[in-house]
Each structure stands twice: as structure tokens, then as C-alpha cells.
Amino acid sequence: MAPNPGPEDKVDTPATDIPESLVTTLRSTQKLTVLTGSGISAESGVPTFRDAQTGLWARYDPMELATPEAFERDPRLVWEWYAWRRKLAGKAAPNRGHEALAELERRVPDFVLLTQNVDGLHHRAGSQNVVELHGNITRSICSVEGVLVEPREDDAIVPPSCPGCGAFLRPDVVWFGEALPAGEIEDAFDAARECDVFFSIGTSGLVQPAASLAFEALRRGAVVVEVNPNDTPLTRHAGYALRGKAGDVLPGLMRAAYD
């Protein structure tokens, strides 16, 4: 995967491939909610959990590292995997999909961006109203007290320990099997219920409770738009399924609606 394709590698979805009825809907929408998943960051070089991992980590299954049980079994391994992912995310730049969503926020009066991503790329692209449902990889917390802790630069022991109680630090992310932060999930369901248009972008729709958000929006009568190169459980229910990469489809959509 090329982290930041040059202009010659970019395949834009022509603005003309965006249905005219969607363009009309988008131009008049007052309340728009977007849910993103790891697919939107794939074009920035941050692998999804379902992509093959690379290098040293190729033989590990991310689904089995992103769990409390894995951390209990081998805290060092899990910390080091996250240190690698943190480095990847730090080196990555937001792509044209992230940028299009930051631009969309400036066009729509009431805009909420819900993300399952932990890489911080939406903020770096300029998005403002972002709800991070699964935390943020750049932060660390005490694994016992849950408080935010800044790991010391010179920490030689991995994982570093909490200066308060001595327990291991862990990344401030939600692992498989853990509950989402209550405030964030409440905000997310409110935003799904109240919007008139809901976008589901780059998410397989297999990780709950985020996967229910698009269905909640559908039940409330919102127009649901999916952006994904592949089918998901949402595809046949969505009002529009735009096939392709977020970094191609979203700029095409912005051109069709606002140029």
C-alpha cells in the first residue's frame, strides 16, 4: 500500500458518477452525521485490522492483540505493538478523504463526525466536531486507575508504569470486549437519531455498538450513504452505496455538490 499516493496514482470518482438526487439532498441537509472506520485511514498507510500486517508484526493477528486478555497475558508485546502503530499514525498524513470531511463540516450547519479510529488523523485534517468512540492511540492511561498519564521519555521498562500506583500503563483505546466511553456513545446515538443524512465510511460494520449507528439513523428516516470498496451488512439497506476508496469518492462528492 502506498502511504501518500502522488497525483498520478490518484483515481478520482468523477463528480458525474455521484447520483444527482444525492447531490440535491446533500446541498439542503441541515444535520449530517458521519461514522468513519479504519478504511478511511488505509490510504494514509495506517493498516486496518483486517489488512495483512507488515514487518515484525506480520505473524500476529491484531484481533488477538487488541484485547484486555492479550494485555494481561503479555503486556510488553501489546505495548510494543501499539508503540509501532503509534509511530505509523504519527508518520502518516491525513489523505483526501479526511480532508473532504473537514471541508464538508464547513458546508453543513450541524455536523458531527463519529470515528472508530484511534489515529487522530481527522483532527489533523482540520475536523472540529469529532467524537472518538474508541479512544486515541497517542494517549496512555493507568491500566488500573484509568487516569491519563504522560509516559516519561526515558522509560526503559516496557510497558512504563503509573507514577501514582505503579501499575502498567496502557494505550487509551477501547479494546475488543471493553465498553465504550458512556458520554461518547450517548453523543453518537443522539447524532445518529437526529441527523437527516448519515454517512458510513470505511467501516466493515462488524464491531458493535458502532455498527448499530447507521441502522439507528435508518430507523429514524435519515438518508444513509455508504462509502466502501466492499460490501458490508449495511450495503443493501443504504440509500446510496458509493463503491470505491474514500480518498477517491469523497473528493468527487464534494466537487459534485459544491463546485
Q: Under the rule (CB under 6 A), what is the footprint of ligand NAD?
A: 37-43, 46, 48-50, 116-119, 134, 202-204, 206-207, 227-230, 232, 245-246
- Is 98 designated active site? no
Nearer to ligand NAD by Cβ, of 134 and 170: the residue is 134
Which residues does residue 201 pair with via DSSP β-bridges, in sequence order? 36, 227
Kind of pairing between the strands at 110-115 and 130-132: parallel
Cβ closest to ligand NAD, residue 11 vs residue 206: 206
Task: Choose, from 98, 122, 123, 134, the residue flagged as catalytic.
Answer: 134
Q: Which residue is nearest to ligand NAD (CB)?
A: 39
| CB 163 to ligand NAD: min, Å | 27
Q: At closest approach, how far in Å is the CB of 10 from ligand NAD?
A: 12
What minimum distance in Å lies between the beta carbon of 251 and ligand NAD?
12
Residue 45 gets the label, from left (phi > 0), alpha (psi -120 to 50) or beta, of left
| Nearest alpha-carbon partner for 115 in 41, 47, 16, 51 | 41
Phi, psi of 122 (to 5 degrees): -65, -45
Give the nearer residue to ligand NAD in terms of CB position, either 81 or 162: 81
Minimum CB distance to ligand NAD smaller for 48 or for 129: 48
Q: Where are the alpha helices (DSSP H) in 92-162?
A: 96-107, 121-125
Q: Is 197 in a helix, a strand, or coil?
A: strand
Residue with cell 487509551: 172
Query: How far is residue 72 CA from its own chain's centroid?
Result: 26
Catalytic annotation, residues: 134
